[in-house]
A and B are shown apart, each in its own frame.
Chain A
Amino acid sequence: MLQEESDLALIIAQIVQKLKGSNLYTQLERQAWASLQRPEIKLESLKEDIKEFFKISGWEKKLQNAVYSELSVFPLPSHPAAPPEHLKEPLVYMRKAQGSWERRILKSLNSMCTELSIPLARKRPVGEQKELLNKWNEMGTDEPDLSLFRPVYAPKDFLEVLINLRNPNYENGDSHSFRTHLGLIQVPLKVKDIPELKEFFVELGLTAGQLGVDDSTQVPPELFENEHVRIGQKVLSEQDSAAAQQYIRQGSPTALRAELWALILNISSQPEDILYYEQLKTNVIQHDLLVDSLIYKDVKLTASNDDYYFVFEDYLYQVLLCFSRDTSVLGHFAYSSASPPKSYIRGKLGLEEYAVFYPPNGVIPFHGFSMYVAPLCFLYHEPSKLYQIFREMYVRFFFRLHSISSHPSGIVSLCLLFETLLQTYLPQLFYHLREIGAQPLRISFKWMVRAFSGYLATDQLLLLWDRILGYNSLEILAVLAAAVFAFRAVNLMEVTSLAAAEAVLADLSTLKVMPLLQIFLFATVT
């Protein structure tokens, strides 16, 4: 009992500490001072009266949402004496692997830099600044020569690193035995099995209504949809983050989605936020970074070629260029296994006082990175709001998809979860694919790294991301990947090569996500 109490006290102290530095605190203070003018605030019962005032005016709700947001994002401390690295990643071998991966990336970036003799960063001449400012809303029309730039890495390079991960405390030997995994991932992490997933995703069960299933044309809206929309509107009017997160597990109505996501992510567009974005924009105008070219190249290669996202090309530049200069993103490295790459001012290599994080937000984009932003353009049209939502999605979820960690939502766990599900519940298929040299993970990896963006139809993707927000977990990506394989199992059993297997799974744009998940989790005989 005492241990729990002291844990709780620790958590509370940490959250209070964090919130004290936030804008919300200042606002609450200001509101409290202003409330003294009000007739219902009496000196004798000052504390209670102010609390009551906060409750009525909605400020308590805002505070609740902020606390909930902190709880969702920050991991709970395992032990008061645990060093900060443990918060990032408790397993030493994972930390080491992530470290060496990061060194490889940075080396690749630096060598590209030297090869092309382009500085990592340079100040733009005034003429160029003016030009860029004029073109800000249509940067897509620019056609700079990007032929010499290569993406720093692609998902398949990352997959090779993950395949070679080994836990030094777990002796497998080089020979295959009962204890080696049949899949590509060879580290023993704990992943959920279907009974546990059924419990975790209980709201997706067959007896509960779902958007993505029960809003199809044949189902009369009175059965589920109308009531669900009504509840959604109520949740929005109450402005309760936790309720919204619970609500969205059954999917979000199209018209309410933008607001619901903003509520769950605790994003409200305050004037300070808009100003902050404008400041970032100024940084982009004034300085040119090497990563900018990488971003351009990525957008041109991926989103611009997509049948649906090409329209939003300009928004992607406006978000990603600002993102790479946003130092507030560095905050997420406290709970990410990754660390921001360091670079040194010219001539001062190794001297810590001259070290800077590069890029300023510490995130080096890889091939396909812009696809994290593209679906959001469907929902948000105001650049600073779009930016905030993307940034929050990144520091809560997306960063886990390209860093090596033992977190249950980390890409390593997702890969292992996928392989385990397939192996356990579709052993014949798994074995067949393995025999023909088509390890399933080689195909599904790119889906999971991109959170299925660009592979599913947009409306289906948004229904999937609804559940990511609702369950505050990326595990659903692995479950969906397994469900897709299960769905196409008959065709896959007939293929005889990796290329043929890829072809069967090349086009996911007609898939309906929710029925697939429901069938796999709740309607398959286990």
Chain B
Amino acid sequence: MNTLMDVLHHRPGWVEVKDEGEWDFYWCDVSWLRENFDHTYMDEHVRISHFRNHYELTRKNYMVKNLKRFRKQLEREAGKLEAAKCDFFPKTFEMPCEYHLFVEEFRKNPGITWIMKPVARSQGKGIFLFRRLKDIMDWKKDTRSSDDQKDDIPVESYVAQRYIENPYLIGGRKFDLRVYVLVMSYMPLRAWLYRDGFARFSNTRFTLNSIDDQYVHLTNVAVQKTSPDYHPKKGCKWMLQRFRQYLASKHGPEAVETLFSDMDNIFIRSLQSVQKVIISDKHCFELYGYDILIDQDLKPWLLEVNASPSLTASSQEDYELKTSLLEDTLHVVDMEARLTGREKRVGGFDLMWNDGPVSREDGAHDLSGMGNFVTNTHLGCVNDRKKQLRQLFRSLQGQKKTPN
């Protein structure tokens, strides 16, 4: 089910360019970008779906570095309390260069579980959990010996991250959330948050006993698909609306508001931390897939940011979510130049940050009372995008007909 092709083909007035023809819009691979971006001339109106150095946000080791630096800066400028708002990333150390720092932290917290992740791979490949230093010493030896044979292959970077041992469970299962954030520019920072998303469930019940059972801990659908328990009919996902309702009926609306506003905080701060580093080319935009894990205290943690979130649909519902997501992305990118640029909502996207916080239209008060600004975000809320788009485009047409 190729959502991207379907959406692009169905868009009125859009034609697919073959071979070496000139293009106005390119939804490209990151590999194409790496090879071609620097020597491709683009007219002003041309749009491309990645930022040149997006890896500052999406590669785990770079993201950690950027976040740590941003946090220090915040502490200097605004104090410890403000800096603490950046503590949504589990303690992470780059390997092998921060190995000694890691060992120090490891010794301070005996008995906890750590997770080792390759920085560049996705879909859960190469990940494992460990509790003893011995486990990674063995692994170090293994990787070292294989490298001796092939010197021209660079040593793959890993990060060691503190494993969240008390994840929030539903039905005894662990899950993580996939949320979509669209960044139209970094300087100034303009970011949109999509209302829909989903919770991905692990197929097996959560227990800390079986560290070796990688199927329990990794909730990506890609890994789950290889588990012997996996039944494709199960489609182990919940739409975010369902997840939000479930939490509300269990913990009450205030707790849910707090959780979701903490998540807003994650999106904004993570983007701010790479704002100055990412080359903000006006041709570029990027649709990120954020992976969030909730723990039992209802605190959200950032697991990672994906520059190329999967657009393959695993079910009919998934297909509709992803096609709507892509359609609305194209509406925001606005190749057709229909928008005024002052919109706060386009379809399922709400403008979350526009070089500063964006307030909600109805001026809702801050329920949590914690001084988090009430952003114009509606994650997991009703997404009546078709109706909104109709009204939006109708009023835009009206404005065009009667120029001031």
Stretch at the interface among B232-240, B323-331, B392-400: B232-240
- Please name all residues of chain A whose beta carbon is closer than 8 Å to the beta carbon of B238 when the two chains form the complex: 307-308, 311
Q: Mark B236-258, 1 if CB is under 8 A from A, else 0.
A: 11100010011011111100000
Q: A61: CB under 8 A from chain B?
A: no
Given contacts A258-B249, A377-B171, contact A308 B242 (CB under 8 A): yes
Determine which of A258, A305, A314 lies in contact with B234 in the assembled complex, contact meaning CB atoms within 8 Å: A305
Beta-carbon contact of B173 and A257 below 8 Å: no
Least CB distance from B180 to A in Å reads 20
Tell me which residues across on chain B come within 8 A of A216, comparing CB atoms: 382
| Chain B residues in 8 Å Cβ range of A217 | 381-382, 384
Within 8 A of B (CB), among A208-227: 216-217, 220
Most A Cβ at <10 Å: residue of B171, B205, B237, B252? B171
Task: Please give, as numbers and ranges, the residues of chain A lying within 8 Å of B236 by CB-CB distance.
Answer: 310
Closest partner residue, chain A, to B362 (CB atom):
A220
Interface size of B by CB at 8 A reads 29
**Residues of chain B with a CB closer than 8 A to A140's CB:** 205
- Decide yes or no: A138 and B205 within 8 Å by CB, A254-B253, A257-B249, A307-B317 being known contacts: yes
B204 within 8 A of A: yes
* CB 8 Å contact bits of A250-294 with B (1 = contact, 0 = none): 000011011000000000000000000000000000000000000
Q: Does any Cβ of A come within 8 Å of B170's Cβ?
A: yes
Q: Is A141 in contact with B253, judged by CB distance below 8 angstroms?
A: no
Q: How far, in whole Å, are A263 and B238 apart by their CA atoms in the complex? A: 30
Q: A305-B234, A311-B238 are in contact. Are A141 and B249 (CB under 8 A)?
A: no
A314: B residues at CB distance < 8 A: 171-172, 205
Of the residues B234, B237, B245, contact of A304 by C-beta under 8 Å? B234
Q: Taking CB as reference atom, which chain A residue is nearest B199?
A: A311
B201 interfacial contact with A, CB 8 Å:
yes
**Distance of A47 Cα from B370 Cα, bound (Å):** 53
- Nearest B residue to A253 via CB reads B253
A391 to chain B, nearest CB (A): 20
The contact of A255 among B171, B253, B362, by CB within 8 Å, is B253
B205 and A255 contacting across the interface, CB-CB below 8 Å: no
Name the interface residues of A292-315: CB closer than 8 Å to any CB of B: 304-305, 307-308, 310-315
CA of A381 to CA of B171, assembled, Å: 8
Q: What is the bound-complex CA distance between A314 and B203, given in angstroms? A: 12
Q: Are B170 and A379 in contact (CB under 8 A)?
A: no
Using A305-B233, A311-B171, A312-B171 as known contacts, say yes or no to A137 and B245 having CB atoms under 8 A apart.
no
Name which residue of chain B comes closest to A216, CB basis.
B382
A226: min CB distance to chain B, Å: 12
Q: Does A378 contact B (CB under 8 A)?
A: yes
A459 interfacial by beta-carbon distance below 8 Å: yes
B249, A379: Cβ atoms closer than 8 Å? yes
A-B contact pairs, 14 of them (CB 8 A): A137-B172, A138-B172, A138-B204, A140-B205, A217-B384, A255-B251, A305-B233, A307-B235, A307-B315, A310-B234, A311-B173, A311-B238, A314-B205, A379-B249
Besides the contacts A255-B248, A313-B171, what 15 more A-B pairs have beta carbons closer than 8 Å? A138-B205, A141-B205, A216-B382, A217-B384, A255-B251, A255-B252, A307-B235, A307-B315, A308-B242, A311-B173, A311-B201, A311-B238, A377-B171, A381-B250, A458-B242
